[in-house]
Amino acid sequence: MSTSTTSAPPGAARPPAAGRTGRRKSLQRPEKIAAYLFVTPFFLIFLAMIVTPLVYSGYLSFFREQLIGGDAFVGFENYADALQDSAFMSGVLRVLRFFLLQVPIMLALSVLFALVLDSGRLRLQRFVRLSIFVPYAVPSVIAALMWGYLYGPDFGPFAQLAEALGGSAPRFLSGQWALASIANIVTWGFVGYNMIILYAALRSIPTELYEAARIDGAGEVRIARSIKLPAIRPALVLTLIFSVIGSFQLFNEPSLLQSLAPTVITNAYTPNLYAYNLAFVNQEINYAAAIAFLLGFVIMIVSYVVQLSSQRRERRS
């Protein structure tokens, strides 16, 4: 009596062995536990330092401290008062003017420096790149103090030079030039940061595109305009959104320069400075929380408009 055995076709997949699958599952479980253990500290710190203060600040913004009865729930009255607050609205308009003045100049310089460095025709390239980036490594407080010394109308080098020449000291912190002087400090500090982002984006472009363009007779300016700038558009949008956030959060520079021009740089010069003085000088914590949340909403709206406009331009092109 003969027994016939049927063999599986050559291309058919064999079912996995039960022992091997169980061993793989037993190995994946400790790896998952280890992964959760590694990310748990970040989530705990994020929850304690970011989420909890935001929730508590939002809670405070719906209350108002009264002389009789203590804190009382007022709903959105603090937000309504903030929208009618001329000091807050003038600060928002001022940082909007600051954004329109400072950001185009800063990004134009960052793009120019990134293109020059990417061209490979610059001598001492590493030294130049480091020199442009070094101001970003200087803390903003130190930068504001340093430039405050340079802007000083009585003791600064520009004032001493003007006095030696028999002229009057330039008023960098006057009502007409204060915003431009602050913009100069921020531009000096952040050109290198944005340049590094754009330079990294340029280095990721395949060099074959440049070689093909040069074969077709394109010069360096045409390559930069037709290949490099369209390729780094996402990086440009990223730096633009970062600049929106940084502009509306302007605080260190006007706060430190206020002692040099107290009549020009007031406690409500920027929304952040206004919220700080409301909370820690006037002790109006509830109203300051509402101001801070309204400023966050303004930043979100402006950032969304910038991102939406860039996406529409990409679709048209």
* % of the chain surpassing 90 pLDDT: 57
Distant-in-sequence, close-in-space partners of 160: CB < 8 Å, separation ≥ 6: none
Residue 28, pLDDT score: 72
Please report which helix (H) or strand (E) contains residue 184, including its range. helix 178-203
Residue 33, pLDDT score: 86
Tens-place pLDDT, residues 156-195: 888 888 888 888 888 899 989 999 999 999 999 999 999 9
* % of the chain surpassing 70 pLDDT: 90
Residue 308, pLDDT score: 87
Tens-place pLDDT, residues 187-221: 999 999 999 999 999 999 888 888 888 888 888 88
Rounded to the nearest integer, the mean pLDDT of the chain is 87
Q: Is the distance from CB of 95 to CB of 250 less than 8 angstroms?
A: yes
SS3 317: coil
Q: What is the Cα–Cα distance from 281 to 255, expressed in whole angstroms?
A: 13
In this structure, what token pair is assigned to residue 188? 């000096």
Q: Residue range 105-115: average pLDDT?
A: 95
Q: What is the Cα–Cα distance from 253 to 262, expressed in whole angstroms?
A: 13
SS3 90: helix
Check whether 89 has a pLDDT greater than 90: yes
Residue 186: burial class (beta carbons within 10 Å; 0-12, 13-18, 19+): buried
Lowest mean pLDDT among 179-193, 223-237, 300-314: 300-314
Residue 30, pLDDT score: 79
Lowest mean pLDDT among 14-23, 83-92, 117-126, 233-242: 14-23
Q: What is the Cα–Cα distance from 206 to 184, expressed in whole angstroms?
A: 35
> Which tops the pLDDT comparison, 105 or 33?
105
Lowest mean pLDDT among 11-15, 143-147, 305-309: 11-15
The CATH 1.10.3720.10 portion of the chain extends over 85-316
Q: Residue range 13-20: average pLDDT?
A: 53
Q: Residue range 108-123: average pLDDT?
A: 89
Q: Residue range 275-296: average pLDDT?
A: 93
- DSSP state at residue 265: S
Closest CA to 270 of 255, 282, 290, 285: 255
Closest CA to 60 of 299, 317, 285: 285
Residue 307, pLDDT score: 84
Residue 26, pLDDT score: 53
Q: Is the distance from CB of 189 to CB of 143 less than 8 angstroms?
A: yes
pLDDT band at 1 (very low <50, low <70, confident <90, very high): very low
Tens-place pLDDT, residues 38-70: 999 999 999 999 999 999 999 999 999 877 767
Please provide the CATH number assigned to the domain covering 85-316: 1.10.3720.10
Distant-in-sequence, close-in-space partners of 232: CB < 8 Å, separation ≥ 6: 114, 198, 201, 202, 205
In this structure, what token pair is assigned to residue 175? 């009502």
Q: Residue range 216-242: average pLDDT?
A: 89
